[in-house]
Every structure is written in C-alpha cells, then in structure tokens.
Amino acid sequence: MNDELKDTKDFLQNISDHIHYAVRDTLPDNWVLLGQIVLKFLFLLALIYITDFILKFILNQIFRTFFNKDQYPIQKSIYQSRITNSVAHLIALLFGSFALFSIFYRHPKSFIFLERMVGLAIVLVVAGMLYRSLSAFRNYFVIQQDYYKIIALNAVSQSVKIFGIFVSSIVAISVIFGISGSAILGSLGAITAVLVLVFRDTILGFVTGIHVATSKNLKVGDWIGIPKYNLEGNIQDINLLTTKIQNFDKTISTIPTYDFLTTEIKNIQVMSESNTRRIKRSIIFNINSFKFLDDYTLNRLSKVNLIKHYLEVKKAEMVEERKVMENPELLINGRQLTNIGVFREYIFNYLKNNQHIDQEGTILVRQLENTPQGMPLEIYCFTNDSQWANYEDIQADIFDHLLVASKEFDLEVIQFAKIQ
C-alpha cells in the first residue's frame, strides 16, 4: 500500500515538474510563476473532477440496483437523498488534498492557500453530507409511512441544520484563517444570552416537534380545529417554526409550531377515520305548549308506528293504577303522559330506526335547563358518514322531520324574531 502511494506521489510530481519546466521554457519571465500556478491548479481541479465523476458513477450504479423501495427501503432512501454524491465529493477532495503537496511542492506559498481552500471545501461537503443524511432518514420514514417519526425528524433535522450551520461556520473560519476554534467560541461567550433570545422560537419549535411525535396526537394530513384562531382544516406541513394548515375554503393559514404546547387543538381526524360524526343540536320549545295527554290524543298518537308499542304499555300501566285510585277522572292524579315526554320517546325511536345513524354510538334525547326563550330538547347521536356534505344532509333531514312532526304532538317550537 505504501509503495502504491509512493508511486502515485512520484507520478504526480513528475507531471508537476513537466508543467513547471514547460511553462518556464515557453512564457516570458514575468509570466512564468503565474502560468505555473494556474496550470497546476487546473491540473489539480481536473484530478478532483475526474475522481469525483468516476466515484459518483460507480456508487450510483451500485445503489440503482437496490431501487425497489419495498425490498430495500434503506438503500432507496440513501440514493434519493444523494448521499452517494457527497461521499464521492469527499473522497475526491481527500485525494486532491493528498495530491496537493506533490503538485505544488515547488510553490509553498500557493500550497498553503490551496490547502486551506481544499480544507474549506471538505468542511462544506461534510456539512452537506450530514444534511443529506437527515433527508435520507426522512425518506426512509416516508417509505415506511411512519408520519409521527417524520414530524419528530422535521423538528430535529431543522434544529441540527441550524446548529450545523453554526458549527460549520466556526470550522470554516478556523480553516480559512488558520486560527483555533476554541478562540472563536471563547469570543462568542459574551453574546450567549443574545443567541438564546434569537433562537427562542427555534428551541420552542424543537421541543414541540418532539412532543407532537412522542404523544402521537397530530400528524401531517390530520383534520384539526384550533378555536383560538378560529381555524379548521388539514395540516399540510409541520416544521421547526411554523405549521401550515389548508382551510376548507382552500386558503392557507400559518401558525407558530410552539403554539401546539399551549393552545387547545381539536383533532377531528379520528372522527373521519372512524367514518362517524357527532350531531349535537337542540330544538327549543315553548313551555306553555306542554300538557298532559287525554284519551283522545292518546288514541290518535297510538296510530304512530314508532311509539305505538310504547303507548300501549304505558296505557295498560295507567289503567291498572287508576283502578284503585281516588278521583281517577282528574288527569293530574296518578301517573300521566305528557306531549313533550312522548315526543322525546318518538325522537329516540326515530333515531334508532334511522339507517344513517350509528347504532353502536351514543344516542341521547335529553332536556336541557330551561331558558327565558323556552326549554331546549337536545339530540345527541353520531352519523355513520363523516363526509361533510353527507353529514349536513343527514342532519338537515332529521331536523326537518322533527320540526314538522312536533306539530302532531301539539308542541310549539320557538322562533326568534329579528329585532328591527
């Protein structure tokens, strides 16, 4: 190995000497030094370029054979992120660094400058390779469809990139000017507080990204609502500083990512994935329209199929109870049925027999606290179709029916008149 390196070094020195003497014998004395340096520099660039081209071709050809993302997701993600190109760049620059002394050994002043330039290029290539490695991780999780880890990686990668730029800048300055990196860091100690203030949002965004990924409450594509901003839409992107949400009117809203730590977020995606959506709406009735049901009304309502069996059972119970009761002719004595109570039973049976209502979910028909406007009767259930348009149609059909059906029970629905 040492013999091969020595032979390579001797070969490069011979070419350098040929260039050196050819320029000296050809150009005027005033142009000899410049001509020698320029031609040797072009020769060095050609070596680096040819080495880089050959290595890229070989590495990319190898990774193309593993381009099936199902069988080789790691190789696929590495190839897509072009890490192979960075590896080729790095090896070519290292070879250029090795060849530098052999080519410019007759020009030590140029050698020092070019050595620093090659060192700077290596720093930039290594930084680029690290960034592409983060992209490779993200591509891998995209292939695996692990969206929670993608969120965490977005936060981590952007933080690493910012930190990497900071470190790379220090190393680059050290390489260019030939000074110690510790001296640069020591001079930055005085402005630490300023840096923390500048990167406040970055730090909070990093913490939020980790929290979102570990809690698995949100991911890109989820349908969410944020009452604080009166927003409802789908998450398009979660990065270190901002989160993009596409509203249902096709506009884009952007909020600070760190708000996820302190703001109420409603994740409606679970409802969409289960294909159910809640109905929670009330009808307000005039309390003055409530009354006991007399025999005539009971007989009339007994023809309503949804409550026929219910009324038969209740009438039989009331007849048995009145046989031993004083003053059975008065409706207020003993147990009685009311029009609002029977209508509540009608609504419940109507929902239980509705093909658009999820029968495994909660179905409630309940009275809410009286208000100056009347008594609200709340319907609480879930549709078995979460599509927005279908959901609105189902909800509208239910309340259209109930508002009209309430007239059969002699109930008065409150209407709010517009105040002029």
pLDDT level of residue 400 (50, 70, 90 thresholds) = very high
Same domain, 195 and 291: no
pLDDT level of residue 415 (50, 70, 90 thresholds) = confident
* 380: Cβ contacts below 8 Å, ≥ 6 apart: 278, 279, 280, 362, 363, 364, 365, 366
Q: pLDDT tens-digit profile of 270-310?
A: 666 667 888 999 999 999 999 988 888 888 998 999 999 99
Q: pLDDT tens-digit profile of 315-343?
A: 888 878 777 777 766 767 767 889 999 99
Residue predicted with more confidence, 320 or 410:
410
Rounded Cα distance between 392 and 50, Å, is 66
Rounded Cα distance between 243 and 250, Å, is 16
48 within a domain of the structure (yes/no)? yes
pLDDT of residue 40: 75
Rounded Cα distance between 67 and 60, Å, is 10
Which pairs from 232-235 meet CB under 8 Å and 24+ separation? 232/268
Same domain, 259 and 187: no
- The answer to whether residue 110 scores a pLDDT higher than 90 is no
Rounded Cα distance between 212 and 222, Å, is 13
pLDDT of residue 348: 95
Same domain, 199 and 229: no
- From residue 414, give the alpha-carbon distance in Å to each of 112, 285, 360, 410: 91, 5, 32, 13
Number of domains comprising the chain: 3
Section 362-374 average pLDDT: 90
Phi, psi of 172 (to 5 degrees): -65, -45
Rounded Cα distance between 188 and 198, Å, is 14
* 249: Cβ contacts below 8 Å, ≥ 6 apart: none
Structural domain ending residue among the three candidates 191, 207, 223: 207
Same domain, 282 and 360: yes
**Nearest alpha carbon to residue 344 among 411, 277, 295:** 411
Section 144-171 average pLDDT: 64
- The answer to whether residue 371 scores a pLDDT higher than 80 is yes
216 φ/ψ sector (left φ>0, alpha ψ -120 to 50, else beta): left
**Nearest alpha carbon to residue 157 among 134, 186, 180:** 134
366 within a domain of the structure (yes/no)? yes
Same domain, 303 and 238: no
- The answer to whether residue 118 scores a pLDDT higher than 50 is yes
Residue predicted with more confidence, 375 or 90:
375
- The answer to whether residue 417 scores a pLDDT higher than 50 is no
Its pTM stands at 0.47
Same domain, 46 and 124: yes
Rounded Cα distance between 70 and 29, Å, is 65
pLDDT of residue 315: 86
Cα(first)–Cα(last) distance of the chain, in Å? Answer: 98
Structural domain ending residue among the three candidates 185, 207, 229: 207
Cβ–Cβ < 8 Å for 282, 368: yes
Rounded Cα distance between 179 and 181, Å, is 7
Structural domain ending residue among the three candidates 162, 184, 207: 207
pLDDT > 70: percent of the chain: 67
pLDDT of residue 162: 65
Residue predicted with more confidence, 398 or 205:
398
Same domain, 237 and 332: no
414 within a domain of the structure (yes/no)? no
pLDDT of residue 420: 32
417 within a domain of the structure (yes/no)? no
pLDDT of residue 56: 83
Rounded Cα distance between 211 and 341, Å, is 49
Summary mean pLDDT of the chain: 77
Same domain, 310 and 258: no
CATH number at residue 257: 2.30.30.60
pLDDT of residue 150: 61
286 within a domain of the structure (yes/no)? yes
9 within a domain of the structure (yes/no)? yes
Cβ–Cβ < 8 Å for 39, 125: no
Same domain, 203 and 222: no
Same domain, 298 and 251: no
Angle made by CA atoms 324, 326, 332, in degrees to the nearest 5: 110
Range of the domain at 256: 215-267
Same domain, 222 and 101: no
- The answer to whether residue 416 scores a pLDDT higher than 60 is no
- β-strands 252-256, 242-247: how paired? antiparallel
Same domain, 233 and 156: no
Cβ–Cβ < 8 Å for 377, 391: no
